[in-house]
Structure 1
Amino acid sequence: MEFDEGPVPGHDQPTRERVARSILVNGPSTAAALAERLDLTPAAVRRHLDQLLEEGAVELREPRSQAHRGRGRPAKLFALTEAGRDRFVQQYDDLAAQALRFLAETGGDEAVREFANRRAAFIEQRFDGVRQEHPELGAAEILAKIFTDEGYAASVRELLPINGQSVGEQLCQQHCPVSHVAHEFPQLCEAETEAISRVLGRHVQRLATIAHGDGVCTTCIPSTPIEKKERVRS
Structure 2
Amino acid sequence: MKKDVSENEKAIWILKNQGPKSLKEIAVELGITTEGARFQLMKLSGEGLVKSESISRGRGRPQQIWSLTEKGHSRFPDMHGHLTVKLIQTIRESLGENALDKVIASAGEDNIKKYSGQMQEAKDLEEKIRILARIREEEGYMAHYEKTDEGYLLLENHCPICEAAKACQNFCSTELRTFQTVLGDEAVVKRVDHILAGARRCAYLIKT
Q: Under TM normalisation by the shorter chain, which class is it?
A: 0.5 to 0.7
Hey, what does 1:180 align to over in structure 2?
Answer: 163
> For the structure 1 residues 169 and 137, does the alpha-carbon distance in structure 2 shift closer, same or farther, using more than 3 Å as the test?
closer
| 2:144–2:154 contact (8 Å) kept in structure 1 | yes
| 2:143–2:157 contact (8 Å) kept in structure 1 | yes
| 2:16–2:68 contact (8 Å) kept in structure 1 | no
Match of 2:88 among 100, 106, 126: 100
Larger of the two Rg values belongs to structure: 1
| Gap runs ≥5 in structure 1 | 1-13, 36-44, 61-77, 161-166, 224-234
1:130-187 CA distance string (max 9 Å, x none): 6649999622222111111111111223343xxxxxx422212111011232122011
| Gap runs ≥5 in structure 2 | 20-24, 32-36, 53-65
> For the structure 1 residues 116 and 136, does the alpha-carbon distance in structure 2 shift closer, same or farther, using more than 3 Å as the test?
closer
Match status 1:153 vs 2:142? yes
Deviation of 1:34 after TM superposition, in Å, equals 7.1
Q: TM-score, normalised by structure 2?
A: 0.65
> For the structure 1 residues 185 and 82, does the alpha-carbon distance in structure 2 shift closer, same or farther, using more than 3 Å as the test?
same
Report how many residues are paired: 184
1:48-67 map, 5 Å: 50-58=42-50
Match of 2:132 among 136, 143, 147: 143
Deviation of 1:196 after TM superposition, in Å, equals 0.6
Deviation of 1:222 after TM superposition, in Å, equals 1.5
Hey, what does 1:196 align to over in structure 2?
Answer: 179
Q: Which has the higher strand share?
A: 2
Hey, what does 1:218 align to over in structure 2?
Answer: 203
Deviation of 1:206 after TM superposition, in Å, equals 1.9
| CA RMSD across the alignment | 4.2
Match status 1:84 vs 2:83? no
Larger mean CA deviation between 170-179 and 47-56 belongs to: 47-56
| 1:171–1:221 contact (8 Å) kept in structure 2 | yes
Give the distance between the partners of 1:30 and 1:123, measured in 2 at CA: 38
> For the structure 1 residues 101 and 20, does the alpha-carbon distance in structure 2 shift closer, same or farther, using more than 3 Å as the test?
farther
| 1:123–1:195 contact (8 Å) kept in structure 2 | yes
* Runs of 4+ off more than 4 Å: 14-35, 45-50, 78-82, 130-137
Match status 1:171 vs 2:154? yes
Give the distance between the partners of 1:91 and 1:199, measured in 2 at CA: 23
Give the distance between the partners of 1:139 and 1:93, measured in 2 at CA: 29
Deviation of 1:18 after TM superposition, in Å, equals 6.6
> For the structure 1 residues 21 and 151, does the alpha-carbon distance in structure 2 shift closer, same or farther, using more than 3 Å as the test?
farther
1:67-102 CA distance string (max 9 Å, x none): xxxxxxxxxxx8755542223346943322111011
Secondary structure at the aligned position of 1:204 is classed as: strand
> For the structure 1 residues 114 and 34, does the alpha-carbon distance in structure 2 shift closer, same or farther, using more than 3 Å as the test?
farther
| 1:123–1:146 contact (8 Å) kept in structure 2 | no
Larger mean CA deviation between 24-33 and 195-204 belongs to: 24-33
